[in-house]
Amino acid sequence: MIKIHLSGWWVAFIICVFTSCNTINEENLANDNRLLIVSSFSIISDIIQEIGGEKVLVYNLVPIGMAPHTYSPTPKDVKFAQNADIFFYNGLNLEGGKSGWVFKMIYALGFDTNKVFMACKDIPAMYLQDENNYKEVNPHAFISPRVGVQMAINIRDALVQSDKKDSVFYVVRAENYIRQLQNIEREYQEKLGSIPQKQRVFIASEQAFQYLANDYNLTEGYIWAIDTDKNGTPKQMMNIIDFIHQHTPHHLFVESNVDRRPMEAVSEATNIPIYQHPIYSDELGKPGQTADTYLKYLKYNLEQIYNGLTTDKTMYK
Ligand SMILES: [Zn+2]
């Protein structure tokens, strides 16, 4: 747990004694004149960096390889959050809402909530429902590039509001970035729109792709609706196998950060192959790898989904 009754200096001091303080100029945070931004996970951190350029220092919390739904901040995270000028989170329940880990951290630090921004502001929520009729907001809106455009606008506005002297800089960079996002969005419309409706059957492990499916008219199948420690129950397996028999997709997809075994079992039971490359859901690729920026992530996913939906399944058998 985070010790909140110590003053900022003490916590910083203790953390520096017990951990090795290296990387992004940790000791010099107070003298760094860039806007220090703490952000909850890789996709938002990347958009902020693209728009903020050299005027911002972005510190990302959830490391790539970990799902952002639950997370325990490290002492180093706490140090950056204490020094941060502003804080970004996704919202739509990605970080567990007001009782989740982001707000626990913000409240524990007494961080000014006027300086906390939600990247998914004004994005209408879609809902997940599991096989026991438990309902919750689907946080994975950013998988759709149409949502990505709105997130970039929200992030631009928050930067402009927080650092008025550099507002022109942010507006110009955002304009260029948003144009690139809009071009990708058009590609999604064109490519996915060119696939006959009956063939637009997209199946992944988790029902994370609901916003994308809704925006581009895909019929979405999944093993589990809500990510829990009980993924791939017998009931979930029966439901997806039924769904596959009704829709006969060309391929099944597996996300980069899930356990592949449930989908492998589905593939075996239905004789539908898993597409050769993983797709990305709630994280970017590691730096230097495929899909290591949000723009590349969107392009990469489109290519895999388009190929998987249109390529004859016998090709990879
Ligand atoms: Zn997720």
Least confident piece of the model among 6-20, 74-88, 121-135, 199-213: 6-20
pLDDT at 315: 52
Q: What number is the average pLDDT over the span 63-73?
A: 90
CA of residue 100 to ligand 1 center, whole Å = 14
Do the domains spanning 8-184 and 195-316 agree at the CATH topology level?
yes
pLDDT at 10: 41
Q: What is the DSSP letter of 6?
A: S
CA of residue 257 to ligand 1 center, whole Å = 9
CA of residue 54 to ligand 1 center, whole Å = 30
Q: Give me the amino acid identity at 159.
A: L
CA of residue 285 to ligand 1 center, whole Å = 15
**pLDDT tier, 17 (very low <50, low <70, confident <90, very high otherwise):** very low
CA of residue 163 to ligand 1 center, whole Å = 32
The mean pLDDT of the chain is: 90
CA of residue 258 to ligand 1 center, whole Å = 9
CA of residue 186 to ligand 1 center, whole Å = 25
CA of residue 62 to ligand 1 center, whole Å = 12
Alpha helices in the chain (DSSP H): 8-18, 42-52, 75-83, 101-109, 145-162, 167-193, 210-215, 234-247, 261-270, 294-310
CA of residue 183 to ligand 1 center, whole Å = 26
pLDDT tens sequence across 250-293? 999 999 989 999 999 999 999 999 999 999 998 999 999 999 99
CA of residue 227 to ligand 1 center, whole Å = 7
Q: What are the structure tokens assigned to 302, written together?
A: 């489109």
CA of residue 21 to ligand 1 center, whole Å = 31
pLDDT score of 160 more than 80: yes
Q: Where are the chain's structural domains?
A: 8-184, 195-316
CA of residue 160 to ligand 1 center, whole Å = 30
CA 284 vs. chain centroid, Å, equals 8
* Strands 135-137 and 56-60, sheet pairing: unpaired
Please name the residues in contact with 206: beta carbons below 8 A apart, sequence gap of 6 or more.
222, 223, 224, 225, 227, 231, 255, 258, 281
Q: What is the DSSP letter of 159?
A: H
CA of residue 282 to ligand 1 center, whole Å = 5
CA of residue 129 to ligand 1 center, whole Å = 14
Rounded (10°) CA dihedral 277, 255, 269, 233: 170
H or E element at residue 59:
strand 56-60
pLDDT tens sequence across 36-51? 999 999 999 999 999 9
CA of residue 213 to ligand 1 center, whole Å = 16
DSSP-derived 3-state class of residue 200 = coil
CA of residue 274 to ligand 1 center, whole Å = 20
CA of residue 276 to ligand 1 center, whole Å = 21
Q: What number is the average pLDDT over the span 87-102?
A: 95
CA of residue 226 to ligand 1 center, whole Å = 8
Q: Would you tell me which CATH number, out of the four given (3.40.190.10, 3.40.718.10, 3.40.50.1980, 3.40.50.11740), belongs to the domain 8-184?
A: 3.40.50.1980
pLDDT at 130: 86
Q: Would you tell me which CATH number, out of the four given (3.40.50.1820, 1.50.10.10, 3.50.50.60, 3.40.50.1980), belongs to the domain 195-316?
A: 3.40.50.1980
| pTM given for the model | 0.89
CA of residue 104 to ligand 1 center, whole Å = 20
pLDDT score of 118 more than 70: yes
